[in-house]
Amino acid sequence: MSENLQIGVSREDGEKAVTVLRLKGSLDANTQGDLENAARKAIDSGAQFLLLDMSEVDYLGSAGMRAIHAVTNFLSPDDPSLRSASLKILNPSPAAAKVFKTLGFDAFIDIHGSIDEAVAAF
């Protein structure tokens, strides 16, 4: 488990412009603010749809899951729908996928195995 989180930002254009946050490292109590800050910066710059590439997340803790939930609320604070229309997950590492499934977050956030599939899903 690393003690930091690196976040790369890029854009993918499909039917909608999607901002991709590529996460590498640990998403936990020490780094949850990094994700929240990166997401807020992207949203403040006009992003409406975020895709979290979690293929290189080596550890996902409960604080990391809270950060993902916070990002969902940043994007759609007044949307009571069950599934997030504005946030999706790309190719989570086995460790991250296990946490999503165990906590039931896969019922609220779409998880995709390819970037083309994920971008097309927005």
Tokens of 21: 């946050």
Strand order in the sheet with 5-13: 5-13, 17-27, 50-60, 87-90, 111-112
Q: H-helix or E-strand containing 66?
A: helix 62-75
Q: What is the pLDDT of residue 84?
A: 80
Task: List domains and CATH numbers for the chain.
Answer: 5-120 (3.30.750.24)
pLDDT single digits (tens) 11-69: 999 899 999 999 999 999 999 999 999 999 999 999 999 999 999 999 999 999 999 99
**Using CA atoms, how far apart are residues 91 and 98, in angstroms rounded to an integer?**
12
Torsion of CA 104, 105, 107, 110, to 10 degrees: -150
pLDDT single digits (tens) 83-115: 788 999 999 999 999 999 999 888 889 999 999
Q: Is the predicted pLDDT of residue 78 greater than 80, yes or no?
A: no
Could you tell me which residues are beta bridge partners of residue 23?
7
